[in-house]
Structure 1
Amino acid sequence: MKIATFNVNGVNGRLPLLLRWLAEAEPDIVCLQELKSPQNKFPIAAIRNAGYGAIWHGQNRWNGVAILARGAEPIETRRALPGDPEDDHCRYIEAAVNGILVACLYLPNGNPAPGPKFDYKLRWFERLTAHSAELLGTGAPIVLAGDYNVIPTELDVYKPERWVDDALFRIEAREAFQTLLAQGWTDAIRALHPGQRIYTFWDYFRNAWGRNAGLRLDHLLLAPALSDRLLATDVDRHVRGWDKASDHAPAWIELSNAVHGA
């Protein structure tokens, strides 16, 4: 089973690119972020024609998350992160797909930091950590996939010294990510590529893509019930080089179908 996460940076504007990648990569489950589409403008007809069922939580002009399933319909279990009923950002959606609970998230950027946006980011992280602890308590096979807007370590950024004061790399954000991992989640990319520089994002400015001046912002975290099933993980970085590309590339994992010990 292949599960991917992709910040598409505008699902309608980049629909041809998304469809091209779906046809090429054939992921079984896809988490999309930054749809930038209101609920009624999500391109469900084109997604279905590509062979995918979908649920989505859209928002005009920004944010927005979706879960796609190849040849199946995701069974929605949640479409907002608990803990703040006043939060109207569309940043979280959750579904059961083929025996796995999939959480798709788009964590706030937080810049400029310090400031109200960074405070919101840290509060959102706290809510995610609380909810993920409850999910882990079920013992279910779970994937937390999405754009975390966090650079976890110096290995995940091309020039760490330039990002020290950025909300993506500030110590508070990195510590929050490590607190989440410490619950028992496995960072799939790091589990199989512990010392390798792997990026998922390249800015549109300063020829970042051409210089490979990237960041690793997109993560797939696995609950213990799935970590033993991890076979492979990678980033389809070539997609970033396509015409009118998103500034992110899809990251993915491959899981064995056999349950460990069965």
Structure 2
Amino acid sequence: MDQLKIATFNINGIRARRSNLLEWLEREQPDVVCLQELKAQDADFPIDDIRAAGYGAIWQGQKSWNGVAILAKGDDPLEIRRGLPGDPDDTHSRYLEAAAHGVIVACLYLPNGNPQPGPKFDYKLSWFERFIEHAAGLFANGHPVVLAGDYNVVPTDEDIYNPRSWAKDALLQPESRECFQRLLDQGWTDALRAKYPDERLYTFWDYFRQHWQKNSGLRIDHLLLSADLAPRLVDAGVDRWVRDQEHASDHAPTWITLRAEVGQDKQPPTRRKAKGTAK
């Protein structure tokens, strides 16, 4: 392939929006997909439909909440890690890591953190600290890496239609933004912002007060690129048409395309054996 298209999509319930997902896969044909908020147990993941669409997958479900998956077109992702390290008592399904089409892909669903202050915000920041530490190791490992997912962070006031309306929300708190900036300071490139430094791009529009119809959105779905991948960035965007579908998720798929390199079809080496079994 000449280019590699990687997308992240908070599906907000894969059972309710399975048809939306399959239509998007057929129309846009991404090569790698990171899904968040499956809201389904492992047995309810529609693997047969996804395979029929031409994709292999790994996933980690959870009843009613959370849940993440990685899809690869024409191949099975090679699982590297299931769950974020650093807290053996954390049972939330929020992190998967795999090799697919020559790139290590981390799929994350960072905690929302509301209401704040309180235990949910404390958990958000604790999870973020663990992710920052793990991301530093990924950045240093010498392999091409994409950190893709729903970060539940609005990085700046330019990434939201009206910051005053969300001033007390966990997504805009200084602590949340500081964590995101510390992640970038490791050397990661925010792909959408790198491609469109001066444009207001949104990836999420909630279901209230006609926010979709008024384009009152937030940018909280991000794809961060390691140093060797950033020069290969060709394009980036948001598939807004998916948000306009009937029974749509409140997120739209966010994607990048990367220039391919010779030998990209080979899996990159990993520092550990794959953990778990692809479903």
CA distance in 2, matches of 1:126, 1:70: 32
The one of 102, 124, 129 equivalent to 1:126 is 129
The one of 191, 195, 207 equivalent to 2:194 is 191
2:58 counterpart residue number: 55
Which SS does the other structure have where 1:228 is aligned?
A: helix
Partner amino acid for 2:182? Answer: T
- Displaced runs of 4 or more, over 4 A: none
Which SS does the other structure have where 2:213 is aligned?
A: helix
CA distance in 1, matches of 2:210, 2:224: 30
Sequence identity percentage: 62
Alignment pair present for 1:164 and 2:180: no
Query: 1:8-157 residue pairs with structure 2 within 5 A?
Result: 8-157=11-160
Which SS does the other structure have where 2:6 is aligned?
A: strand
Residue-by-residue CA offset, 1:40-63 (whole Å, 9 max, x unaligned): 110000000000000000000010
RMSD: 0.7
How many residue pairs were aligned? Answer: 259
Which SS does the other structure have where 2:229 is aligned?
A: helix
**How far is 1:242 from its partner?**
0.5
2:254 counterpart residue number: 251
Which SS does the other structure have where 2:129 is aligned?
A: helix
**How far is 1:163 from its partner?**
1.6
Provide TM-score, normalisation by structure 2. Answer: 0.92
Alignment pair present for 1:202 and 2:205: yes
**How far is 1:238 from its partner?**
1.3
Alignment pair present for 1:219 and 2:222: yes
Residue-by-residue CA offset, 1:161-211 (whole Å, 9 max, x unaligned): 122221000010001000000000000000010010000000101101011
Gaps of 5+ in 1: none
Which SS does the other structure have where 1:248 is aligned?
A: coil
Partner amino acid for 2:116? Answer: A
The one of 173, 178, 183 equivalent to 1:175 is 178
Provide TM-score, normalisation by structure 1. Answer: 0.98
- Higher RCO (Cα < 8 Å, 6 or more apart): 2
**How far is 1:99 from its partner?**
1.2
CA distance in 2, matches of 1:209, 1:238: 11
Partner amino acid for 1:172? Answer: E
